[in-house]
Structure 1
Amino acid sequence: MRAKVETVRIDGLPVRLHTLATAGRVRDDLAPTVVLVHGIGMSHRSFRRTQAALAATHRTISVDLPGFGGLPGAGRRLQIEELADLVVRAVRSRGTGPLVLVGQSMGTQVVAEAARRHPGSVASVVLIGPVVVEGRRHAVLQALDLARDCLVEGLRMNGVVTTDYLRSIPQYLRELGPMLRHRLEDTLPHVDRPVLVVRGSRDPIARRDWATRLAAAAPRGEFVELPGPHHVQEHQPVAFARTVDEFRRVRTTGGTR
């Protein structure tokens, strides 16, 4: 399968969409669409293996936010709430049905805000390696945690991280403040959709007690831990895809895990 790649503009801001699905489902407006939102400095490449695994059973759209993944920058700081609106509007412009929003790192803030602000468009939310841990809302502390994570990510993922960061520096610097100030723990109590928090067992950025606390803060939250570092979705793409599918199906039918 090859992704369909298109750039849409929302209020003048570019958002790139990478759509991947099995034959006949690229324009499926009835089944849920899984939307993948990267973290600060990253791009759709942080979901390459994950999207391939999810696309076996779902229509998927991986997003590049303005200023990331080689896109032109916004030229200004974008608040998390504005990024959330951009994602929903860009994806909905392609004729999607209900959305399963999957965010990683800063992307968890974006998809949580999207679910809070656009509940009618969102079926469920998955947060991978959520940030920012309370007590570590400082750029230096985040840099230290990122350095620790690089020790366990492996050669391939570190290559993706390094090259993505280098091409997104201007927008990265603009978004660092909004990311550090955003309080995911204050947003999740107002998200009335099912929320799954996923953490890598070796993730030094999203600590375990923090991740479990966030799952408990969501009215319909659950927590799952998979073996791996901060980008656990790329280290465990098949297991992650199965976890998302099980979560979605159980929550849709009203069952219990």
Structure 2
Amino acid sequence: MGEGQPIDPASMLATHFPRDLTDTVMSGESATVVLDIAGHGHWTVSIDSGVAELRSADGPRKPTCTIRTDADTLADVLIGRRSGVDAFLDGDLVTRGSLATVLQIGGAFAPDVELSTRPQSREVDAGGVRTAYLEAGRADAPPVVLLHGLGATNASMLPVLADLAEDHRVIAPDTPGFGASEAPCWTYTAHQLYSWLRAFLDAVDARGAVVVGNSLGGRLALELAMHDPEAVAKLVLLCPSPAFRRFRQLVPLVKLLPVDVARLPAAPVPRPVVMAGVKAMFADPSRVPQSWFDAAVDEFEIAMSSGAHRRAALSALFNIYTEEAFGDTGFWGRLPNLRTPALFLWGSEDRLVPASFARHVSEAMPTAESVVIPNCGHVPQLELPALTMQLVREFLSSGRTPNAQASTEYDLALG
């Protein structure tokens, strides 16, 4: 294909298929991927028994996923000039259906081309749990582990992965019970998830990593650092979900509720309701492309079609509310003992984890850096990715232990 010549998708696709995927996580999977190429029609890739083959233009009625893009972007991704993650984040590649499948197959193309932001999909046994994860960046770079929130997947951490993969080894697992990972019949307490995370770090050789967590992922990161401080170099906590300090009157009742009821067949939540719930996590949803919301709702609907994953989500939700808050074994009683350098980022308009928690964290950890981001919701890495990554990189590059004065200066600068 010469410089400046128009791209012929038919010829381009013919040179890339069939493709051997036996050495990838797709080796035992079956999937159909419809490629909707602007101005060039539809093409179907069928994956079965570790082989990806190009089929007729007439795709199935319900493909595993659909990828909409233009010929130039598709060519860049196929030859390794650009990662699918970068194209997705830039809005040049739109997905519907299983975003996890898109990410799983994305790293299988041009595997020998050095492109740090193209994640590889992998699986590992961590404490007896089949755990799916994305890995990007150089293998010998400092490790960073990304932990997503309740009801989300590692895809919610893609802006962080794409940024930090330039100079870090970035590892983003799907927490057990979510995404492509196994959903064991657990109670999903913070301690149980901590035990899994410790085993995961051992399995992927990432002890001593920087850990970045959003919401439930932030709570899990804190639990790891409180139990095993040697496992964590620094903490970046994006709107972490701490134990409830108030409104605990219903805790005894919630503890009695049978989470196994979530396994029973149930009518799916109407898509507009799910979409409204997702958008409610943002202070200004217009900052985020509608295609991202569509992808997030698709992932949620796929996960909630599994009884085991519904049970996991309900169990984790109940434990956030019922977790012991005070006393020697309570979250707030243990937090002052944390010595790991930590950056807390809060959204001023967060409806799930109010920014008022920043005051309680500062009282418990006066040496931690706590920043309230104005006009931001619960997922700053998606709503304000540039500002979020600026703050994260400033914290990671600093050799100092954060202090309260630095936090005040950041608040004034941002406000």
Q: What's the counterpart of residue 233 of structure 1?
A: 381
> Displacement of 1:243 after TM fit?
1.3
Match of 2:206 in 1: 96
Does the CA contact (< 8 Å) of 1:35 and 1:99 recur in 2? yes
Return the match for 2:322 from 156, 165, 181.
181
Q: Which moved more, 1:91-100 or 1:38-47?
A: 91-100
Deviation, structure 1 residue 147: 7.2
1:108 pairs, out of 212, 218, 240, with 218
Deviation at 1:177, TM superposition (A): 1.8
What corresponds to 2:152 in structure 1?
42
Structure exhibiting the larger radius of gyration computed from Cα positions: 2
**Structure 1 136/243 Cα, relative in aligned 2: closer, same or farther at 3 Å?**
farther
> Where in structure 2 are the equivalents of 1:1-257 lying within 5 Å?
1-21=117-137, 25-28=138-141, 31=142, 33-96=143-206, 98-132=208-242, 133-135=244-246, 148-149=280-281, 152-153=284-285, 154=288, 155-166=290-301, 167=303, 168-182=309-323, 183=325, 184-226=331-373, 227-250=375-398, 252-254=399-401, 257=406
Q: Please give the per-residue CA displacement for 1:82-102, whole angstroms capped at 9, x wherever unaligned.
A: 212222321232223521111
Supply the distance in 2 between the matched residues of 1:96 and 1:255 (Cα, whole angstroms).
24
Shift of 1:156: 4.4
TM-score by length of 2: 0.54
Q: Output the amino acid matched with 1:109.
A: R
* Residue pair 2:350, 2:378 contacting (<8 A) in 1 also: yes
Q: Do 1:16 and 1:64's aligned partners in 2 also have CA atoms closer than 8 Å?
A: yes
Deviation at residue 12 of structure 1 after TM alignment: 1.6
Q: Which amino acid aligns with 2:246?
A: G
Kindly state the Cα deviation for residue 255 of structure 1 after the two structures are TM-superposed: 7.3
Contact 1:111–1:125 at 8 Å: present in 2 too?
yes
* Counterpart residue type for residue 174 of structure 1: S
| Cα offsets for 1:149-174 (capped at 9, x unmatched) | 36744534543543343304231012
Indicate the SS of the match to 2:281: helix
Q: Distance in 1 between matches of 2:313 and 2:387?
A: 30
What is the distance in 2 between the residues matched to 1:176 and 1:96? 28
Distance 1:151 1:233 in 2: 13
Aligned 8 A contact 2:147 2:172 in 1: yes
1:253 is displaced (CA, Å) by 4.1
- For structure 1, which runs of at least 5 residues remain unmatched after alignment? none
For the residue of structure 2 that corresponds to 1:177, the secondary structure is: helix
Question: 1:113: Cα distance to partner?
Answer: 0.3
Unpaired segments ≥5 residues, structure 2 = 1-116, 252-273, 304-308, 326-330, 407-415
* Higher relative contact order, chain-length normalized (CA < 8 Å, sep 6+): 1
Which is helix-richer, 1 or 2? 1
Which stretch of structure 1 is more off in the superposition, 1-10 or 147-156?
A: 147-156
